């Protein structure tokens, strides 16, 4: 094997250092914004009366910064560092590496400017406007090209498990990001997503859930598989566990998106798939945790001395905790309690701070001495960081559990023999959790404090130090054509054939009725039995084939892509191809008036969906509190959908007509004048800014292109309609003692709010 | 304190994979049984759950079960209902401190935002959303049963929500009793046009 020519390669560790330091910087910024908006939930004045500091605009900045800026940069550093060493090749192109780094930072800066200005697409973790979307897609392709080009030039033929996870990350994120960001621009800064209503909701959570899966989980698992055994100096616990949990994870994860829409108007078959696939994900996720924790067997002594091992052990434990909580929350009955509450917020922070944040810290502390050839400035400070972070995250998560369960129980509580709500006023449930929301600020601040200690520690370690690039001696081997799998070798083998047959048979069972259904069941059972029999007798052949697959990067990538794509296709294609007008239950939405549409875009701009849902679930307490449960047809023409995912305030699906215009006017100007103890920001700027009527013709033209049945109004007609309705509302406001110019944004927003729950006509079921 | 505990003795049955990657070795241990059973158990659950919902349709759909539950709630409400057209009964309630106190509590949390804590609404502050509830001029009728109907069903065009579905009959009646405690049965009510 070592007959080839020997050469020394120098790794591109420059870009690793850049990404690592960027991750530290953006991590601090993202967490600081998090602490600020958590403070605003307790003290609404903390937005200083500025629109660009208000909760609805900064929460998207916080989530995007932590996901894409902090974890993104950390992931790129980890992937680039480990991949070069695992495949024994320098990154293929210094130019692409630099373009990747600077392009990504430019995107982050653009996001940090546009989001506070209210430039948004109105979909969670997909808020960035369309020009930035294109930049993200391009830079992601640059990343992919650089990565796969490096694989093509590798000197280590066989791909290690970390690289499998990196491959899954790159292809899946590209697919998810592009599909969920398909939109048609109405201007340079604004667009509407091509999907509407339930389609948009389904695509959004297919993306949103798998952003968690393939942006926050799979790359970090890959990083775990490299850095954890390196730091522990122990072999990985089980290779076959790696194989099983990798393939089950990438196949199952993609199906679980609908668990974000349980008990909503989403068709039941999708809810069932979302719930059951989430439960099936439990074991595959824990496979990753086991392989991490059990690799530490024999190295537990280092837990006392080495902060790197401390962070990794705690990070993997948090991963295990979060991936147990996830399936639990996906059970419809548990979800009925926990959804829309702080429980979910606690759950994601166990993942983001506990798993991502701690894995990042462990990796950074391990990398610094190796990238700058100088020991860490202070191990004591790193240990202090660990304990501050751990106490911080535990406080945070515990407070959010208590808060979410308390509020969930109060919202669902009934009195007088179940005939009325025990706490009819939403504000009572908010005031009950105020101390817990304050505790969360304390936890988050501690965590941020620890993170800043790390930044300081790293800075002291590297200041004045000389950066060093790793080198490795490799043997250049001539290519061996016998190793190539080819198309036949990729697909015509027992594991792939049995998986394909089994999946096809299972789909027949899932989606047909009558004798075909029975046939599907028999075929599924038969395939499983045959596969087991074949594996028992010819198991070594399966292993040999897999060893060969590992030296064929392209076939491996292809099979990974097919595994992830199938779940999305089965769930989304039926919802996209069906005529939208059939998928309405018993109600069909009417289109908005031009003024209402303008108001809706203000609602999206201000990020109202960050605290208010527009989805009354098929649950008795929801119906008692907010009115008749929402039907699919009611949000049919909503681009983007605004069902929401969190209720810091009440649901708004049927708010229209419940109060008069003066109520809304007062409430937007000063929420506490109506609702004592409310933590909603005062939207005083809506009383000052003029509604953008001029943008309406382009917006309505795009909506018509998307199939929304607006009449073919001329631009002048649209302008007249909007102004007339605004004058009408201003007149009614005047009668109620509120004086406003008709062209103020508050009038447009009031028009939209008053239309909610009113814009539909009954259709036969 | 023992500085570093010795590594556990290696099980000779555990194979180490021949290949190493940048110095990383891999064991090839069996999958833990409890892990496998968890995986199989969740798959079995998924199959049974799908069968019960989608194929056998043993479990009613979400819409059906919530409609049925709401019908039960409505039936319970009807069974426990009081006569809300009995003016005399309302006057009796309005002189009962337990009823009035309970009504005052509900009023201050839900009604005072528009009708103000003094109940004087627009008379105290013209910018208030709700009209005066202490004067003798009534927009929607001043008989106790009429006041109840207004509170229960609301006046949606004017921004008065329907409270009976939210509060239930008893609490709505308590609020009416609290309002009536500011009035006398023999006072002369006049009709008022809304301001």
Residues of B in contact with A415 (CB under 8 A): 168
Task: Kindly state whether residues A703 and A749 are assigned to the same domain.
Answer: yes
Q: Report strand pairing: B190-191 vs B137-138.
A: parallel
The mean pLDDT value for B58-69 works out to 88
Answer whether A239 sits within 8 Å of B28, measured CB to CB: yes
Q: Go through A476-485 and write b for each residue having 16 or more CB atoms within 10 A of its CB, e for each that does not.
A: eeeeeeeeeb
- Measured between alpha carbons, how far is A241 from A593 in angstroms, rounded to an integer? 57
d(CA A127, CA A107): 13
Contact criterion met (CB < 8 Å) for A629 and B113: no
Chain B residues inside the 8 Å CB shell of A275: 49
Domain that holds residue A514: 484-538
Q: A416 and A499: one domain?
A: no
Structure tokens at A696: 């309406």
Region of residue B192 (phi > 0: left; psi between -120 and 50: alpha; otherwise: beta): beta
Domain co-membership, A418 together with A488: no
* The predicted structure's pLDDT at residue A1: 42
Q: Is residue A683 part of a domain?
A: yes
Nearest-CA distance B187 → chain A (Å): 29
Per-residue model confidence (pLDDT) at position A217: 96
pLDDT tens digits for range A695-719: 999 999 999 999 999 999 999 999 9
Do residues B179 and B147 make contact, with C-beta atoms less than 8 angstroms apart?
Answer: yes
Q: Mutating which of A227, A283, A672 best tests the B interface, going by the most B Cβ atoms within 10 A?
A: A283
Indicate the angle between helix axes A197-215 and A161-180, nearest 10 degrees: 160
Are A300 and B5 within 8 A, CB to CB? yes
Q: Do the domain assignments include residue A578?
A: no
Four-point Cα dihedral A499, A500, A503, A505, nearest 10: -120
Using an 8 Å CB-CB cutoff, list chain B residues near A650: none
Joined tokens for residue A321: 């905790």
A443 and A492, same domain (yes or no): no
Separation CA A479–CA A475 (nearest Å): 12
Alpha-carbon gap: B33 to the closest alpha carbon of chain A (Å): 11
The greatest distance separating any two alpha carbons of chain B, rounded to the nearest whole angstrom, comes to 101
Cβ–Cβ of B73/A624 closer than 8 Å? yes
Using a CB–CB cutoff of 8 Å, tell me whether B129 touches chain A: yes
Nearest to A13 by CA among A373, A360, A356: A373
Tokens matching residue B179: 């309002």
pLDDT in tens, A75-126: 999 999 999 999 999 999 999 999 999 999 999 999 999 999 999 999 999 9
Evaluate whether A153 touches A85 at the Cβ level (below 8 Å): no
The whole-number pLDDT of residue A437 equals 96
pLDDT tens digits, B68-99: 999 988 888 877 788 888 888 889 888 988 88
Residues A434, A488 within the same domain: no
A2 pLDDT band, cuts 50/70/90, is: very low
Chain B residue numbers with beta carbons less than 8 Å from the beta carbon of A619 are: 66
Same domain, A418 and A493: no
Say yes or no: A360 and A495 in one domain.
no
Shortest Cα–Cα distance, B56 to chain A (Å): 10
CB-based contact A419 B161, cutoff 8 Å: no
Task: Give the pLDDT confidence score for residue A265 in this predicted structure.
Answer: 93
* 3-state DSSP assignment of residue A193: strand
Whether residue A104 lies within 8 A of chain B, CB to CB, comes out as no
Q: Does A248 touch chain B (CB under 8 A)?
A: yes
Mean pLDDT of the region A461-484: 86
* CA end-to-end span of chain A: 70
Q: Is the pLDDT of residue B4 over 50?
A: no
Same domain, A138 and A40: yes
Count of residues in chain A: 765
CA dihedral A266, A270, A274, A276 (to 10 degrees): 130
- What ipTM did this prediction achieve? 0.91
In terms of C-beta density within 10 A (0-12 exposed, 13-18 middle, 19 or more buried), how is residue A690 classed?
A: exposed
CA distances from A545 to A76, A491, A538 (A): 31, 11, 11
CA of A275 to nearest chain B CA: how many angstroms apart?
Answer: 8
- Residue A484 has a pLDDT of 84
* Contact across the interface for B54 and A280, Cβ inside 8 Å: no
SS (H, E, C) A39-68: HHHHCHHHHCCCHHHCHHHHHHHHHHHHHH
Q: How far is A510 from chain B (nearest CA, A)?
A: 8
Show residues of chain A in contact with B25, CB under 8 Å. Answer: 229, 235-236
Q: Do A675 and B113 touch (CB under 8 A)?
A: yes
| Chain B residues lying within 8 Å of A413, measured CB to CB | none
Closest CA to A437 of A425, A426, A429: A429
CATH superfamily ID and name for B78-191: Cytochrome c-like domain (1.10.760.10)
Answer positive or negative: Cα dihedral of B89, B94, B100, B103.
positive
Question: In this structure, are A120 and A184 located in the same domain?
Answer: yes
CATH code, domain carrying A722: 1.10.760.10
A624 touches chain B (CB under 8 A): yes
Both A288 and A421 in a single domain?
A: yes
In a domain? residue A551: no
Contact: B66, A283; criterion CB under 8 Å: no
Per-residue pLDDT band at B13 (split at 50, 70, 90): low
Q: Give yes or no for B126 touching A (CB within 8 A).
A: yes
Q: Which of B16, B55, B62 sits opposite A235 (nearest CB)?
A: B16
Q: How far is CA A330 from CA A213, A281, B112, in A?
A: 15, 11, 40
Is residue B88 within 8 angstroms of chain A, CB to CB? no
- Helix (H) / strand (E) element for A88: namely none
> In this predicted structure, what is the pLDDT of residue A42?
95
Looking at the complex, report in whole angstroms how far the Cα of residue A225 sits from the nearest Cα belonging to chain B. 9
Are residues A642 and A732 in contact, defined by beta-carbon separation less than 8 angstroms? no
Chain A residue closest to B45 (CA)? A276
Pairing of strands A191-193, A471-476: unpaired
pLDDT for residue A582 is more than 80: no
Lowest mean pLDDT, pick from A567-571, B2-6, B135-139, B147-151: B2-6
Q: What is the mean pLDDT of residues A250-257?
A: 95
Residues of chain A numbered 276-335 and touching chain B (CB < 8 Å): 276-277, 279-280, 282-284, 286-287, 290, 297-298, 300-302, 327
First to last CA, chain B: 84
Domain presence at residue A738? yes
| Cis geometry, peptide bond prior to residue A640 (ω within 30 degrees of 0) | yes
Kindly tell me if the per-residue pLDDT of A197 is higher than 60.
Answer: yes
Considering the domain boundaries, does residue A559 fall inside one?
A: no
Confidence of residue A480 (pLDDT cuts 50, 70, 90): confident
- How far apart are the C-alpha atoms of A441 and A437, rounded to whole Å? 7
Name, in order, each residue with C-beta under 8 angstroms of B86's C-beta and a sequence gap of 6 or more: B145
- A250 in the same domain as A398: yes
Q: Where are the domains of chain B?
A: 12-61, 78-191
What's the number of domains chain A is made of? 3
Which among A682, A695, A678, A699 has a CA at the least distance from the CA of A746?
A682
Q: Determine, yes or no, domain membership for A466.
A: no
DSSP type of residue B19: -
Question: Nearest-CA distance from A178 to chain B in Å?
Answer: 31
A255 touches chain B (CB under 8 A): no
Q: Cβ contacts (< 8 Å) between A151 and chain B: which residues?
A: none
| Cβ distance of A673 and B113 shorter than 8 Å | yes
Whether A305 is covered by a domain: the verdict is yes
Asked whether residue A546 is assigned to any structural domain, the reply reads no
Helix axes A72-86, A14-42, angle to 10 degrees: 150
Pairs across A and B, CB distance < 8 A:
172
């Amino acid at each position: 094997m070592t007959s080839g020519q020997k050469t020394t390669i120098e790794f591109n560790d420059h870009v690793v250092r850049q990404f690592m330091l960027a991750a530290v910087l953006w991590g601090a910024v993202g967490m600081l914004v998090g602490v600020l908006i958590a403070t605003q939930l307790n003290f609404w004045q903390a937005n200083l009366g500025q629109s660009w500091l208000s909760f609805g605009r900064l929460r998207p900045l916080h989530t995007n910064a932590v996901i894409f800026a902090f974890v993104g940069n950390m992931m790129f550093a980890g992937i680039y560092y480990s991949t070069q060493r695992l495949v024994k090749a320098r990154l293929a192109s210094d130019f692409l590496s630099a373009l990747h780094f600077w392009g990504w930072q430019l995107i982050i800066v653009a996001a940090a400017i546009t989001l506070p200005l209210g430039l948004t697409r109105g979909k969670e973790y997909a808020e960035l406007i369309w020009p930035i979307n294109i930049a993200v897609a391009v830079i992601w392709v640059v990343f992919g090209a650089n990565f796969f080009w490096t694989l093509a030039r590798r000197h280590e033929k066989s791909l290690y498990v970390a690289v499998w996870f990196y491959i899954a990350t790159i292809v899946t994120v590209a697919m998810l990001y592009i599909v969920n960001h398909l939109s048609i621009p109405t201007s340079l800064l604004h667009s509407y997503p091509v999907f509407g209503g339930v389609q948009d909701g389904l695509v959004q959570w297919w993306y949103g859930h798998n952003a968690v899966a393939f942006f926050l989980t799979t790359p970090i698992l890959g990083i775990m598989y490299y850095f954890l055994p390196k730091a522990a100096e122990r072999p990985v616990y089980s290779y076959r566990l790696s194989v099983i949990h990798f393939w089950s994870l990438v196949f199952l994860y993609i199906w679980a998106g609908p668990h974000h829409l349980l008990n909503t108007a989403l068709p039941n078959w999708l809810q069932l798939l979302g719930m059951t696939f989430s439960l099936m994900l439990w074991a595959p996720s824990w496979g990753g945790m086991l392989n991490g924790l059990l690799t530490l067997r024999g190295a537990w002594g280092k837990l006392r001395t080495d902060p790197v091992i401390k962070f990794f052990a705690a990070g993997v434990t948090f991963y295990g905790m979060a991936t147990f909580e996830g399936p639990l929350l996906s059970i419809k009955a548990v979800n009925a309690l926990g959804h829309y509450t702080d429980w979910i917020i606690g759950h994601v922070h166990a993942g983001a701070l506990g798993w991502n944040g701690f894995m990042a810290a462990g990796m950074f502390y391990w990398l610094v001495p190796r990238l700058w050839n100088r020991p860490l400035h202070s191990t004591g400070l790193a240990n202090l960081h660990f304990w501050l972070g751990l106490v911080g995250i535990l406080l945070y998560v515990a407070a959010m559990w208590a808060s979410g369960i308390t509020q969930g129980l109060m919202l669902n509580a009934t009195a007088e023999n179940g005939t009325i709500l025990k706490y009819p006023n939403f504000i009572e449930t908010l005031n009950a959790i105020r101390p817990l929301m304050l505790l969360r600020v304390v936890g988050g601040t501690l965590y941020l404090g620890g993170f800043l200690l790390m930044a300081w520690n790293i800075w002291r370690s590297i200041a004045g130090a000389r950066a060093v690039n790793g080198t490795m001696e490799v043997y250049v081997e001539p290519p061996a054509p016998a190793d190539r799998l080819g198309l036949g070798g990729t697909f015509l083998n027992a594991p792939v054939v049995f998986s394909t047959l089994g999946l096809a048979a299972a789909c027949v069972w899932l989606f047909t009725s009558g004798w075909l259904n029975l046939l599907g069941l028999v075929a599924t059972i038969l395939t499983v039995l045959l596969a087991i029999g074949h594996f028992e007798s010819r198991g070594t052949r399966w292993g040999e084939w897999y060893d060969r697959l590992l030296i064929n990067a392209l076939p491996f990538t292809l099979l990974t892509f097919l595994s992830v794509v199938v779940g999305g296709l089965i769930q989304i294609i039926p919802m996209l191809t069906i005529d939208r007008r059939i998928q309405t239950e018993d109600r069909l939405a009417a289109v908005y008036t031009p003024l209402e549409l303008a108001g809706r875009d203000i609602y999206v701009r201000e990020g109202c969906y960050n605290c208010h849902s527009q989805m009354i679930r098929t649950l008795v307490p929801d119906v008692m509190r907010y009115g008749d449960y929402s039907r699919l047809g009611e949000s049919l023409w909503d681009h983007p959908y605004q069902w929401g995912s969190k209720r810091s305030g009440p649901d708004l699906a049927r708010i229209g007509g419940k109060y008069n215009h003066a109520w809304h006017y007062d409430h937007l100007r000063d929420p506490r004048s109506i609702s004592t103890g409310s933590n909603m920001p005062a939207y005083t700027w809506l009383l000052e800014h003029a509604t953008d009527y001029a943008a309406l013709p382009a917006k309505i033209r795009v909506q018509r292109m998307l199939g929304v049945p607006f009449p073919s109004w001329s631009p002048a007609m649209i302008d007249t309609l909007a102004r007339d309705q605004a004058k009408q509302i201003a007149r009614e406001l005047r009668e109620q003692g509120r004086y406003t110019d008709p062209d103020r944004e508050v009038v447009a927003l009031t028009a939209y709010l008053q239309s909610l729950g009113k814009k539909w006509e009954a259709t036969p079921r | 304190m023992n500085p570093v505990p010795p590594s556990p003795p290696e099980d000779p049955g555990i194979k180490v994979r021949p290949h190493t990657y940048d110095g990383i070795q891999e064991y090839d241990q069996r999958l833990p049984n409890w892990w496998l059973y968890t995986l199989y158990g969740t798959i079995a659950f998924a199959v049974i759950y799908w069968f019960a919902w989608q194929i056998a349709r043993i479990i009613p759909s979400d819409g059906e079960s919530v409609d049925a539950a709401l019908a039960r709630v409505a039936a319970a409400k009807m069974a426990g209902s009081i006569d809300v057209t009995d003016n005399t009964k309302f006057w009796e309630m309005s002189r009962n401190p337990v009823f009035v106190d309970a009504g005052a509590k509900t009023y201050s949390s839900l009604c005072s935002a528009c009708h103000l804590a003094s109940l004087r609404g627009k008379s105290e502050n013209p910018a208030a959303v709700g009209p005066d509830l202490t004067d003798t001029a009534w927009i929607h009728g001043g008989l106790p049963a009429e006041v109840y109907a207004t509170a229960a069903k609301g006046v949606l065009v004017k921004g008065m929500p329907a409270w009976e579905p939210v509060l239930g009959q008893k609490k709505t009646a308590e609020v009416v009793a609290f309002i009536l405690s500011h009035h006398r049965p023999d006072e002369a009510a006049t009709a008022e046009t809304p301001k």
